[in-house]
Structure 1
Amino acid sequence: MRYLPLTPDDRQSMLATIGAQSVDDLFVDVPEEARLNGPIEGLPMHAGEMAVEAHMKALARKNHAAGDMPFFLGAGAYRHHVPASVDHIIQRGEFLTAYTPYQPEIAQGTLQTLFEFQTQVARLFGVDVANASMYDGSTACWEAITMARRITKRGKAILSSGLHPHYVSVAKTMARFTKDDLSYQAPSLEAATDGQNILDQIDDETSCVVVQYPDILGRIGDLSAIAEKAHKHKALLIAVVTEPVALGAIKSPGEMDADIVVGEGQSLGVGLQFGGPYVGLFGCKQKYVRQMPGRLCGETVDAEGKRGFVLTLSTREQHIRREKATSNICTNSGLCALAFTAHMTLLGEKGLRELAMLNHKKAVQAADRLSQINGVKLLNDSFFNEFTLVLDTDSRPVVRQLADQRILAGVSLGRLYPEEQPLAHGLLVAVTETSTDGEIEALATALEGALS
């Protein structure tokens, strides 16, 4: 039914049932400055269809694609080249026939790609097992924290200061309902990670430690010592990877004894897409598999001995009773997982390593050039394809000035941490294989002009 009319009495009855005084009470968690309190500015109240189409097209023309200008944005979402063959593969009928594979006899293509996806993620993360994807990186991070609580029967999670602030925000939002105690403080503009501070906090009440790798400032730390102390206190180490391409060049979290590894798969096959949809990655040690959220696809044989695929473990609430479920996130971004798998398959292990090294080479080139500018300091000299510059002024107006020149210079840390004034001088710059020498030089020239 496309239209469900409600009378005022219907609305009052529904509000009374949930304990709300008015419809506005349902939006109290939305910041007031983000609420729409009147008509949309610039949109006419009444117009003919052709006039509306023309107006909307004019608004759409204000958008710019990432490839329209020098692009150095990152902070958890990265511009990589996605081969045209990925789009061709994901539209093949055998993968689109059954998007949600509840009937294995007609969903073999979907089940096989999810099985391959799990294998790729497990190998990439260096863990025993991975699930058939999750909603996105931030919610996968929270699901890992709740998984650690189920395993350890504790409710204290230590979040590294290097964890993406959006991931922290999601965790804090969800912890309001679970009453988990989250220990977190914003990062400082230092070359060293907060590894020692984390070690000092771990105790017998800790359920897990959550560390981003590489972290939000681009720093790469050794997780082994954190894993060792966490395990000594029977806590778990959760590693968060927002840039999976990095694992083609650096040691995997599983090799450093991480118990759970989660991340965002957007970099491979998915594209930026104005912020979504994306795909969450989730893997863990074999001994924790029955506490892992999501679902698992397995390989088997049919009655004739032929290779086949089935859903092996399903623990989402749409599969089983809510009180028994390990997750209530009822999407696994299946199409994005398919795109991830197609891109990874086209690359192969050798191709991924070559792509990673090309990213790092480009980033080193850019860091060397930009750090020569007066008023610019490179925070850390150990990074993958993203690094932090410390300017001698607030980076936010600099970013806006360069954007007016059609150069997206990076992400101001003042934007990510608006209440942390010392971080306002930080500029997070991401450089991938798509960045040309000319674009790097254009960024350097524009930055020199803005700081002069």
Structure 2
Amino acid sequence: MNFRYLPMTQEDKKEMLELIGVKSTEELFADIPENIRFQQDMKLSPPLAETELLKELQQLSEQNAHIKTYPSFLGAGVYDHYIPSVVDHVIRRSEFYTAYTPYQAEISQGELQAIFEFQTMICELTDMDIANSSMYDGGTALAEAAVLAVSESRMKKKKILVSEGIHPETRAVLDTYTEAHGLEVKTVPLKNGKTDVDILNDHIDEQTACVLIQYPNFFGSLEDLKEMEEVVHAKDALFVVSSNPLALGVLTPPGTFGADIVVGDVQPFGIPAQLGGPHCGYFAVTKKRMRKMPGRLVGQTQDADGNRGFVLTLQTREQHIRRDKATSNICSNQALNALAASVAMSALGKKGVREMAVQNVIKTNRFKEKCKQAGIAIVDEQPVFNEFVLDVKKPAAEINKELFHKGIIGGYDLARFDKERQGQMLVCVTELRTEQDLEDFARALGGLIE
């Protein structure tokens, strides 16, 4: 063998072919017409020895731009926040990172307790009664919330109103879910950066199962949840709010405004950007709807000796006894990332979470002023949390290339999903951006626009 990690030898291959009764690998593809088969050799580089391979991989990795060395102003759902060093130490413990699922409660108490603590902290942040053990990400959590709202009406209500202020990628996930269920989705436009409540009032009717709002919305603006809650509940629809959990360290939580379901993504707590995933969604409801909640739920109980213990509970899931009553085919959770978020929130504490959120607000508004001083216009001036939209006059993609040459990762090009927003950039400022970062970015961006 020339290479240490070759999956099988030629002798292995020959033995397997003989065992299944064929002479060559090509015979396995006999059912595929020859005219559509790939008949050439793949244009791959020849295999390398281990030392040469490691050198090539190192050279490739050095081409990456890392947010630890390039100040990043890119948000749009994935954020560069402070992660306490203890997070990595805990989630790298083998008891946690190898625990795919805590089926056997008697030997999974550590994992179950970690999930229980995650659920508890999500409830405290959102001001909701109960939260599940996590979802795949914020996008699927919101889509699952919409399906839950329709199922609660026993499929009598099939209309869903979704704010244009919800992340466009989340809306794409929602479209996939709702198309499969034969549901009607209508978008409520924005007015001055926030959901137009007057149009919401015009669109909502007795056939509306739920209204979906993001808070703060995709463009960073703070939605008026109190006013919208009155409109939504007047038509007996469910009020579903997708919320950045870090923002809830300083904002009034959706549960206080009467939200029926609160969802979101806990990536801001302890989960690095890592090329966009994986993430960890959360899903919180009022007590009335806890039996319809998708995913897992960990409950606290006592054993025969009166000791505190934890179990999986209230599971109307597709793989269990009551699978015919399952509310969703989501049967798993992001346990390791939920643990990372729990450790991060625990390390920060209530005061730390609030301070971190306040820093985002202060630095964002400070950067706003620097942009204005540099002659850069703000689109839809509103109170915001760590994101807002700039009018950069030119294609944002081109400006981002120039910024990158200056050692800066720019904002999100809004023309990627809406051609009418050509020349607009969504910028994000977190607590990690220094005063010098803000100064350098404002100066560089102002110069490029001129």
Q: TM-score scaled by structure 2?
A: 0.88
Q: Provide the C-alpha distance between the structure 2 equivalents of 1:66 and 1:111, rounded to a whole number of angstroms.
A: 33
Aligned to 2:444: 446
Q: Number of aligned residue pairs: give it.
A: 426
Aligned to 1:353: 354
Q: Residues 386-397 of structure 1 correspond to what in structure 2 (within 5 A)?
A: 386-397=387-398
Q: Residues 52-451 of structure 1 correspond to what in structure 2 (within 5 A)?
A: 52-92=53-93, 95-96=96-97, 98-152=99-153, 153=155, 154-184=157-187, 190-241=192-243, 243-320=244-321, 322-415=323-416, 417=417, 420-451=418-449
Q: Provide the C-alpha distance between the structure 2 equivalents of 1:375 and 1:77, rounded to a whole number of angstroms.
A: 24
Q: Provide the C-alpha distance between the structure 2 equivalents of 1:45 and 1:451, rounded to a whole number of angstroms.
A: 43
User: Is contact 1:260-1:283 (8 Å) kept?
Assistant: yes
Q: Provide the C-alpha distance between the structure 1 equivalents of 2:428 and 2:145, rounded to a whole number of angstroms.
A: 27
Deviation at 1:315, TM superposition (A): 3.0
SS in 2 for 1:123: helix
- Matching residue's letter, 1:169: A
Structure with bigger gyration radius: 2
- Matching residue's letter, 1:159: V
User: Is contact 2:161-2:188 (8 Å) kept?
Assistant: no
Q: Provide the C-alpha distance between the structure 2 equivalents of 1:444 and 1:227, rounded to a whole number of angstroms.
A: 38
User: Is contact 1:253-1:261 (8 Å) kept?
Assistant: yes
Q: Provide the C-alpha distance between the structure 2 equivalents of 1:423 and 1:8, rounded to a whole number of angstroms.
A: 51
Q: Provide the C-alpha distance between the structure 1 equivalents of 2:291 and 2:423, rounded to a whole number of angstroms.
A: 45
User: Is contact 1:135-1:333 (8 Å) kept?
Assistant: yes
The worse-fitting range, judged by mean Cα deviation, of 152-161 and 321-330 is 321-330
How big is each residue's C-alpha offset from its partner over 1:139-168, in whole Å with a ceiling of 9 and x where there is no partner?
111111111111122211111000000000
User: Is contact 1:161-1:194 (8 Å) kept?
Assistant: no
Deviation at 1:293, TM superposition (A): 0.3
SS in 2 for 1:310: strand
Q: Provide the C-alpha distance between the structure 1 equivalents of 2:30 and 2:211, rounded to a whole number of angstroms.
A: 45
The worse-fitting range, judged by mean Cα deviation, of 195-204 and 88-97 is 88-97
Q: Provide the C-alpha distance between the structure 2 equivalents of 1:218 and 1:194, rounded to a whole number of angstroms.
A: 15
SS in 2 for 1:371: helix
Deviation at 1:44, TM superposition (A): 4.0
Q: TM-score scaled by structure 1?
A: 0.87
The worse-fitting range, judged by mean Cα deviation, of 163-172 and 376-385 is 376-385
Q: Provide the C-alpha distance between the structure 2 equivalents of 1:46 and 1:94, rounded to a whole number of angstroms.
A: 39
Q: Provide the C-alpha distance between the structure 1 equivalents of 2:331 and 2:29, rounded to a whole number of angstroms.
A: 27
User: Is contact 1:295-1:315 (8 Å) kept?
Assistant: no
The worse-fitting range, judged by mean Cα deviation, of 391-400 and 432-441 is 391-400
- Matching residue's letter, 2:412: V
User: Is contact 1:99-1:110 (8 Å) kept?
Assistant: no
Q: Provide the C-alpha distance between the structure 2 equivalents of 1:174 and 1:110, rounded to a whole number of angstroms.
A: 30
How big is each residue's C-alpha offset from its partner over 1:403-438, in whole Å with a ceiling of 9 and x where there is no partner?
2222112111112x2xx3321222111111110011
- Matching residue's letter, 1:181: E
User: Is contact 1:162-1:194 (8 Å) kept?
Assistant: no
Deviation at 1:398, TM superposition (A): 1.4
- Matching residue's letter, 1:440: L
Q: Relative to structure 1, is the Cα distance of residues 347 and 224 closer, same or farther in structure 2, using a 3 angstrom cutoff?
A: same
SS in 2 for 1:145: helix
Q: Provide the C-alpha distance between the structure 2 equivalents of 1:9 and 1:158, rounded to a whole number of angstroms.
A: 53
How big is each residue's C-alpha offset from its partner over 1:165-218, in whole Å with a ceiling of 9 and x where there is no partner?
000011112222111111126757x34432332222110111111001000111
The worse-fitting range, judged by mean Cα deviation, of 152-161 and 258-267 is 152-161
Structure 2 residue runs of 5 or longer lacking an equivalent are 1-6
